Structure 1
Amino acid sequence: MTAARRPLARTLTQRLTLIALGVVALNVVVVGAYYGSDRPALEAEAVADMTDRLGAALEGVILPGNAPVRAIFADHPDAYAYALVDRTGVVIGAMNADLIPPSAADLYADDWITRIDLPQMRRVIAGHEFADRTDGLRVIFVMNADPAGLLRRAYFSELRQHVWAPVLPMAIVLIVASVLLIRRELAPVARAAAWARAIRPGAVTPPPDGDLPAEVADLIEATDRALNRLATALAAETRHAAEAAHALRTPVAVLVARLDALPQGETTDRLRADLAALARTVQQVLAASRTDVLAVPDKMALDLRDAAQAVTAALAPFAYEKGVELALSLPDAPVLARANREGVELALSNLIENAVLHGGPGLVEISVGPALTITVRDHGPGLPAAAGSQLFKAFWRGPAAVPGGTGLGLAIVERLQQAQSGEVSAQNAADGGCQIVLSYQSA
């Protein structure tokens, strides 16, 4: 069983996605390493973020008691502090004011930051004047050791601003654009594959036209030239087989006429049986030569009842000689299938001959339907247990097969069905005997 193949478009898209994600990851590593190594810049970013949050929570000159930003100062009284100072240096409001140096309130610069390295921690003291206010209100902010992770927040903020915001959308746009581009550029390859799948022996299938990439056009031209050479060789082989079979039919007919002039006897009967087997072999070679050139136009419609009637009538004398009765069952309504009449009759003839020869004396039933099927059923010993997938292989014969056969009949049937996009299946019937079904597509 052939393993499922991955589409080239999916493979290229997955690899491109991995490359884009790799670029994003590389940017994260590079930018993260850069900002992670620049602690003063992170501290300045953390201070700016906190002062912005304090300014946004103000109501007039007061920080309300229910402001969410107060939680940081309440949860870490030894690490963070703030003080709101007016233009005259008066502290209007504060939390953890004992952490703020008295001299910090006297600095009137718009923005400033001071860092002090202590034995067990690093202290950051900063001041900021709210630029959007006219009353000169300032905030003094102190951070010791940063247990609340303000530096980490600033670090991820930098990544978001310098990586996720600009790079990730660009990567997504690149992936989507590449998927569309890959599908469009690989469309000629899909057309070439569809053309190759549509090729059938003996049928003319023009190669796809239009604007094709040079590589795809070269592949199609090379394939078309190879197919033309194969078609020529196939036609020559088929012609030679047909010519040989036709050449054999005349001497076989002469031998039959001469045998009829001989007196009856055991030897004559054996010769007549051998000659009949030879005649069937010639017919099978002719049938095999036709399978490769069998054509079924899309709009061809054949009533399977007509083919079944013609074959049953033609083989009735042969079956009678073997002590077998043929019973044909037909539905009242036409059964229209997309099939070649010669192909259907050749396949059905082989099945009925097999049933007569291998099913033994008795009844062989031929029925059309249900649906687009023809069934041939005998009441003989059934299929051998060793048949399996060997049943439709050329020259394979069961261990109890009658002498004189070639093992070509069912192989020819399968080839005829494949040429018509049909199917053939065989199984043992529940109450004994073998049942083989020919299936066809609707017209």
Structure 2
Amino acid sequence: MRFVTPTALNSLSLRVLGAYLVGVVLSILLIGLGLTALLTFHTEVVEKRASIQASKLATRLMFSTDGAPIGLRSIEHEADWIYQSFKDELAYRVLDASGQVILYSPAGESFWTSSGLTTLHLTRGHFVFEREGVAIHAATEPVQHQGRTWYIQYALSARAADLFQTEFALPFMGRGIALFSITLMIVFGACAYVTIRRTFEPLRELSASASAISPHSLHARLRPEGVPAEVAPLVQSFNQALERLEHGYRGQQEFLAAAAHELKTPLALIRAQIELNEFSAHRASLLQDVEHMTRQVQQLLLLAEVREVQNYHFESIDILDVTQEVSSYLQRMAQGAGVWVNLQPNASRPSWLADRGALFTLLKNLLENAIQHAPRGSGIYVDATATELTVRDWGPGADEDTLSRIFVRFWRGPHRRDKGAGLGLAICQEIAQAHGWTLTAEQADPGLRFVLSRNGPQQNAPV
């Protein structure tokens, strides 16, 4: 048997790590595509930014005791020095319901009047105007206070937005993505490596345990404790396979022991007769012992052969045709025993999927057993249908103890006319199991009935 050594490319750990790396690379690419989309929709982003900033300024508007706006509430990340430092790029103003300006940012009135802005835009939303040839994005946000309506307007130049995005935001985001990628590769990579090692540790232990199993330790089983749930069915199947192997190995050991015991007695008799130099007086007895041993050896070889399914060649077989062939083959034996074989007619000519030689051996052994037990002057009836074959004799039958042991190797029942090896029915059972059939024996009152049944159409469908 050839064993294939797994290569590094077939490593499940490497595949999981590879999938992780691919996921990281795809994540970075998606983030990059997101940044590209931001650049593509820069104008829409600036418009949205103006409206959001106007809404924020509306929440910071402070009023005097008489309800008039007096300034903005300062917060750390939006201090008024920004408007002082960028007076040509950033500005805000507060208007009343009539359009009169109540409050200006440090940029003052000139930021708005120098642009030639003629419309006050006292409705919520975004609007654009030009100042000194530079586009200005602005937005209006109404504010309700003590029953009066005020309007706060925020303005940001397009070049300032470009500067913030290209010189500050994008480089910062690029460095952030790079740092995030490195952290993701190192931290999560280490976590993935440790997780994979801990996950596959039980598999390495299972592999070591499986390697230690030998014919001398077939009773050992793999321990499913700590095994991942996805691998547990494999462990269970492996243990079931070990169970079947142990059963088969024990059966072979018992078979060899029984065969040695069965061959030991005739060999001892032959040796004793040779030592006593009684060839002439016991020539017939010696020939009988040799014939018995020859039959046993042939049966042992046949039993070993029928146990191997690869020795079978399955084809569609006319069951009645094989039955008639077996009956003709055993006609002389039946006549010598004073019995006859009666084949029940069947116009449908059922066909079974089987190995012809094995089926012939099975039917021959069943009929030989019936001939050996049937009383003189009686008949043996054989009936075959598309799903069942029955062989019945009118002999003494069998009690419960006999029925429980009838397929045991080397077991011989009473009432036999010959001294068989006790393997014929065991061979029948092996052939039936190899075909997926069921062979049973039952009391017929009088006589014994053997029933060979097909277990399912998926295995042996009639043709």
Which of the five TM-score ranges fits, normalised by the shorter chain? 0.3 to 0.5
TM-score (norm 2): 0.37
The structure with the largest alpha-carbon Rg is 2
| Larger RCO (CA within 8 A; separation ≥ 6) | 1
* TM value normalised by structure 1: 0.38
